[in-house]
Chains A and B, each alone.
Chain A
Amino acid sequence: DTGVSQDPRHKITKRGQNVTFRCDPISEHNRLYWYRQTLGQGPEFLTYFQNEAQLEKSRLLSNRFSAERPKGSFSTLEIQRTEQGDSAMYLCASSPPQGKNYEQYFGPGTRLTVT
């Protein structure tokens, strides 16, 4: 399968714990995005990488959130001291460098439940 993959698919954690999610984009896609989606809402943009550089962060990304893409390939999203309000689906998407760079391909998401 050559699509965007995310791990884990589901995560249940207790409030106050730290969690880390991983996203593997489509090979040779240099652009990578993280979104958060809650029930009944559209995805909300969190952050964007071009290669290893984090070029944009939403104000939704509080200081408890950090994202990395160390080698310009896979990315991780870490949430520290989780809160119940962090419960959501975390979606990763990638897009190619040029040409059809308008299309973002989404992964299956990681569903986080904070108890």
Chain B
Amino acid sequence: GQNIDQPTEMTATEGAIVQINCTYQTSGFNGLFWYQQHAGEAPTFLSYNVLDGLEEKGRFSSFLSRSKGYSYLLLKELQMKDSASYLCAVRDSNSGYALNFGKGTSLLVTP
């Protein structure tokens, strides 16, 4: 199986930049995903990385280093509505298409 670690909680100020880190261990890496989940709602897809490097999508960017088993999600120009849980998930080629999620990082954006 995988061991996926991410910080439990983070706090940042509106308008600032925040970086949420994720480390993982897997035997057959086949993609890393970031999802956003507001309380009581379903996770929504943010980004996908399968090759090393940075993927940018608007205010959100995601980075992957496969050799280090490391990813981060970068959120710029934080808004109050960005307060949510951010889930890092890894797909393993040995497990078909199932996603293995970390416990999530609860981000609080303050005024």
Q: Enumerate chain A interface residues (CB-CB to B < 8 A).
A: 4, 31, 33, 35, 40-45, 48, 55-56, 58, 91, 95, 101-109
Contacts and interface: CB of A to CB of B under 8 A. Distances in A.
Given A33-B98, A41-B103, A108 B42 contact: yes
A44 B43 CA distance: 13
A58 B2 CA distance: 13
A35 B89 CA distance: 13
Contacts of B95: 45, 56
Nearest to A57: B98
B109 interface: no
12 contacts: A41-B104, A42-B89, A42-B104, A43-B43, A44-B101, A48-B97, A48-B98, A102-B50, A102-B91, A106-B35, A106-B43, A108-B42
Interface of B: 4, 31, 33, 35, 41-45, 48, 50, 87, 89, 91, 95-104
A76 B32 CA distance: 28
B41 A104 contact: no
Contact of A56 (B4, B98, B100): B98
A107 B89 contact: no
B103 to A, nearest CB: 5
Given A31-B97, A48-B97, A56-B95, A42 B42 contact: no
Contacts of B41: 108
A45 B48 contact: no
Given A4-B42, A33-B98, A91-B43, 14 more contacts: A35-B99, A41-B103, A42-B103, A43-B101, A44-B101, A45-B99, A56-B96, A58-B98, A91-B42, A102-B50, A102-B91, A103-B45, A106-B35, A108-B41
